[in-house]
Structure 1
Amino acid sequence: MTTVGIVGAGIAGLHLGLALRAAGIPVTLYAERPFDDLAAGPLLNTVAHHHPLLERERALGVHHWPAAEFGYAAHHHWIGGVRFTGRFTHPSCAVDHRLYLPRLAEDLAGRGGRVEVRAVGPRDLGELAARHDLLVVATGRGALSGLFPRRPGHSPHDAPRRLVCAGLYTGIAPAEPAAVTIGVAPGQGELLEIPLLSRHGRVTALLFENVPGGDLAVLNELSPAQDPALFRKTVLEKLREHHPATAERVLDDFALTDPRDLLQGAVTPAVREDFLPLGDDKFALALGDAHVVVDPVMGQGANIASYSAAVAAAEIAADTVYDEVFCRRVARAREEVLLGASAWTNLVLDPPPWLGELWQGLAGDPRRADEFTDNFDHPDRQWRVLATRRRVRAFLDGS
């Protein structure tokens, strides 16, 4: 019987494992650390799950946080003074992955998936490949960082374009209607304000995307553990100066929930090769951030990781030979969505001048604003809208 080994216990690895177990395929998930440590550890991300991902959760029987109860159904945009709201056809939802991933790991184990805690490096891949018919690498961190070669044509950046400062906060009045607020301070960076369910209950995630060397970059230099008052004061000052759409709803009791609930760092976007030969006609298939890393500014990372896992699971279940032909078929099946998300995100990180025409047009056309927002569910469609000035104008003209 076919067996699959999955290295990496993030959303890509867990969704793949759950989908394969639903198809009756034996799975071993190799996790770098125990899930109890993950749950008690520092903030992992502030990602929102969009409707297609939530539908996959329902199909897998792991939709534990219904979007109707915990989600939101709109995006409020504030872009250099231009304001508009776009509404989703179906709601999205954000749950702290320190709650999400351990719960799904329990689901996987309860359905017969094996979870093995061990560090895996490049030298271990041959051993693991010998245990399984197919090895899937679903983590691009640590010793496996850069395992799969970059595809230069789809990886224009060799350094981070933003400094990420993401934290969980109380003391922000919710937007009306409940929504993610996307603020853009031209030349300085972006802010995503996300209603999120955490171990503290409902909180607000503030994901600052700061231009290196800009005025907001100071947020990545301060430690709330060392000087909580200075950190709070600086965040408030920068909100008021650069992100007024969020600052106008800040209350007197505004505070970071816990020093562990802050993530400071940076991401270098990259698209990597889909697979790697391991010898003896065995292959490692790339998944999740081992394959495509996008900056979190458009909130696509977890969503495309889940999508890629679903495509891979369907192809694994439909085949019995996991050779280069199989790997190339997986690559073709998922390419348009993954490359669309990557290209769209990179465009936002280095916006062309004509992107301002889009924001002005959306501010004056609620129907197009809703369509643009709905396309967060469909990054391939969004890229077809945004790829060129001609396409943007055709979208605004309704052609």
Structure 2
Amino acid sequence: MRKILIVGAGQSGLQLALGLQTKGYEVTVMSNRTADEIRGGRVMSTQCMFHTALQHERDLEINFWENQAPRIQGLGVSVAAPDSSRAIDWLGRLDGHAQSVDQRVKMAGWMETFAQRGGQLVIHGAAVSDLDFFARTYDLVLVSAGKGELVSMFARDAERSPYDTPQRALAVSYVTGLGPRPEHPDTEAVRCNLVPGVGELFVMPSLTTSGRCDILFWEGVPGGPLDVFQEIRDPAEHLATTLALMEKYTPWEYARATKVELTDAGGTLAGRYAPTVRKPVGRLPGGGAVLGVADVVVANDPITGQGSNSASKCAASYLASIVEHGDRPFDEEWMQAAFDRYWQTAQHVTKWTNAMLAPPPEHVLQLIGAGGELPPVRDRFANGFNNPTDFEDWFYDPEKAAAYLASVTPA
């Protein structure tokens, strides 16, 4: 039986571990926190998973919360005008529903399931020196812990990383008491509110430790009026600041948020990081090699909501590469090939995300504006969150965008 070590207990690491278990591998997961510590800790992300990523969980029969989490049927786009009214406002319909489950719920549950199924769970914060030893005792070591010392083993890929500084300041609040959007009161949807030159507010229904909630997520241009959360430590002040900014910049969202409360004391998060693609093979001092997973090697800004989706897709791709490799050595050549296979889809996420961080060109403004009048445009944009590869055919190039608009505009 082949022995595999996965360092990190997030979406990618645990999904891959649970998948390998079903294929008969002897799997060890190393986490710096217990399931109870994760469940009782601070929120970690703003995950919203679309159809393809959710299907990977269904395929492994680890979609434990599908019947509890809100079923997200649409994705709305609003663009603020200078007077804080809405210059653009529409809702695209998803072909398959999306869902968001607080990672405190999911990762704690998956860790316990992994252990119950016979997996070895080691609670220990790994250092590079630890991996030097483990690389000699396991057939394959994968690093899926996206922060800290271990990431430094993976060199930045400058050619694929156009930004070397954070492009947004991030601030998250998990809340209860949010009212429905009056335009579509019966439709669960992710709402993308764009404030030109200032940043973006995302609002999404989710499932947390105490049940149904909503996530309020500001992405602020660094140095701008939304970049005010870095020194805030008090959760109540964090929420009050979030709401004050909503009242000023997105009053249509604030109108349904006047009675919200934080889900719990750990329901806020703030930070920033530079979007980065890294080389997939980490070389150890003793000569061994480890393979980077998900946001260890492809870390995109969350502006396009792709983090957990990419992590799921990476885990599924790596699972297939490992199983197909059989009993042959997991050498550096195989590691590079496994990453290259994942990059075939990941590259489209990176291209789209980096494009959305920049001021939109004229043809993109025309496409977003056309969504208000043309259902095919808004629906296609919404479903691009599930399949970002589709943007290649109509979104980036002005001529392709014009041809697409002509094809869906009534004569």
Same fold flag (TM > 0.5): yes
Q: Is this contact kept in 1: 2:8–2:143, CA < 8 A?
A: yes
2:77 paired residue number: 77
2:227 paired residue number: 217
RMSD of equivalent CA atoms: 1.9
More helix by share: 1
CA shift, 1:233, in A, is: 4.2
Distance, in Å, in 2 between the alignment partners of 1:383 and 1:248 is: 37
SS of 1:28's partner is strand
- The more displaced of 299-308 and 253-262 is 253-262
Map 1:56-75 → 2, pairs under 5 A: 56-66=56-66, 70-75=70-75
SS of 1:145's partner is helix
Q: Is this contact kept in 1: 2:174–2:214, CA < 8 A?
A: yes
Distance, in Å, in 1 between the alignment partners of 2:75 and 2:139 is: 44
Opposite residue 5 of structure 2, the aligned amino acid is G
Opposite residue 147 of structure 2, the aligned amino acid is R
Alignment equivalent of 1:238, drawn from 212, 236, 245: 245
Map 1:156-305 → 2, pairs under 5 A: 156-175=162-181, 176=184, 177-225=187-235, 228=236, 231-251=238-258, 253-278=259-284, 282-305=288-311
CA shift, 1:19, in A, is: 1.0
Gaps of 5+ in 1: none
Distance, in Å, in 2 between the alignment partners of 1:281 and 1:314 is: 26
Q: Is this contact kept in 2: 1:224–1:259, CA < 8 A?
A: no
2:7 paired residue number: 7
> Do the aligned partners of residues 147 and 390 (structure 1) sit closer, same or farther apart at CA in structure 2, a change above 3 Å counting?
farther
> Do the aligned partners of residues 368 and 123 (structure 1) sit closer, same or farther apart at CA in structure 2, a change above 3 Å counting?
same
Map 1:1-399 → 2, pairs under 5 A: 1-66=1-66, 70-80=70-80, 81-175=87-181, 176=184, 177-225=187-235, 228=236, 231-251=238-258, 253-278=259-284, 282-319=288-325, 320-321=327-328, 322-354=330-362, 355-398=364-407
Opposite residue 158 of structure 1, the aligned amino acid is D
Q: How many residues were matched structurally?
A: 395
> Do the aligned partners of residues 232 and 142 (structure 1) sit closer, same or farther apart at CA in structure 2, a change above 3 Å counting?
closer
SS of 2:227's partner is helix
SS of 1:260's partner is coil
Q: Is this contact kept in 2: 1:336–1:380, CA < 8 A?
A: no
Opposite residue 259 of structure 1, the aligned amino acid is A
Distance, in Å, in 1 between the alignment partners of 2:108 and 2:229 is: 30
Distance, in Å, in 2 between the alignment partners of 1:353 and 1:262 is: 33
CA shift, 1:295, in A, is: 0.9
Gaps of 5+ in 2: 81-86
CA shift, 1:31, in A, is: 0.8
Distance, in Å, in 1 between the alignment partners of 2:89 and 2:196 is: 14
Distance, in Å, in 1 between the alignment partners of 2:280 and 2:359 is: 28
Q: Is this contact kept in 1: 2:218–2:242, CA < 8 A?
A: no
CA deviations 1:149-185 (Å, max 9, x no partner) are: 1111111111111110001112321232111111000
Q: Is this contact kept in 2: 1:140–1:147, CA < 8 A?
A: no
Opposite residue 164 of structure 1, the aligned amino acid is L
CA shift, 1:232, in A, is: 4.6
- The more displaced of 323-332 and 273-282 is 273-282
Opposite residue 173 of structure 1, the aligned amino acid is G
Distance, in Å, in 2 between the alignment partners of 1:69 and 1:117 is: 29
Distance, in Å, in 2 between the alignment partners of 1:111 and 1:50 is: 27
Q: Is this contact kept in 1: 2:101–2:207, CA < 8 A?
A: yes
CA deviations 1:108-144 (Å, max 9, x no partner) are: 1222221111111122222111111111111121221
Q: Is this contact kept in 1: 2:173–2:239, CA < 8 A?
A: no
> Do the aligned partners of residues 211 and 301 (structure 1) sit closer, same or farther apart at CA in structure 2, a change above 3 Å counting?
same
Q: Percent identity?
A: 30
